[in-house]
A and B are shown apart, each in its own frame.
Chain A
């Protein structure tokens, strides 16, 4: 069964540092997403990406966040200057045109 792969599984970083979360979507999927889940809270949409550009983003996805597809397989989320409130599980997902999303196992980001 194809899967979305995320690395690292856990990242600890100091407040103010930059972090890059990495994802390898399913190879024939065209749409890519980042979601996050703060402990005990709902899964929240951050950004969607198609055809090498952002197609939609939420209010959470401010100037501190950016996404990139640096090559044909990877999809990254960068947080420029992390804050304590950025601590959460970050999920990458991908989809074909009409199917439901496939999520990765997530990266647990802890900002100290």
Chain B
């Protein structure tokens, strides 16, 4: 069983739509959960960083963590063409500075004008 599973898409939505991106994981030791956005041939850019279960909101982005189900989500409200990118979930068992990140394969999102 893979440690982190993420539907690679591609996912295509019209501008203004609500986007839901998800990852499942198998390792119950994971405590830190991140979402990164990656444009083609660029490095991952941190969007959201959460610890343990719960919700976190930042502008149009909401991250949810359900540790009991080993399931994390990223919601994008009022999606824009500039949101078109690959979204990577990542997680670790320790604080971001002490544990290596395990990444999902990424979901490619396209937001059409």
Main secondary structure of the interface of A (DSSP, over half): strand
A48 contacts partner chain B, Cβ-Cβ < 8 Å: yes
A27 CA to B38 CA, complexed, in Å: 23
Chain B's nearest CB lies how many Å from the CB of A101?
6
Which stretch (A11-19, A65-73, A80-88, A104-112) binds chain B? A104-112
Q: Which residues of A contact B45 (CB under 8 A)?
A: 103
How many positions in chain A have a CB within 8 Å of any CB in the partner chain? 32
- B-contacting residues of A (Cβ < 8 Å)? 4, 6, 30-31, 33, 35, 41-45, 48, 50, 55-56, 58, 89, 91, 93, 95-106, 108
Chain B's nearest CB lies how many Å from the CB of A46?
9
- CB–CB B102/A31 < 8 A: no
Query: Chain B contact residues (Cβ within 8 angstroms of A): what range?
Result: 20 to 34
Given that A98-B95, A100-B34, A108-B41 are contacting pairs, would A45 and B46 also be in contact in the complex, using a CB cutoff of 8 Å? Answer: no
Chain B's nearest CB lies how many Å from the CB of A107?
10
A-B contact pairs, 12 of them (CB 8 A): A4-B43, A31-B96, A31-B97, A42-B104, A43-B44, A45-B100, A50-B97, A56-B99, A91-B44, A93-B43, A97-B97, A99-B97
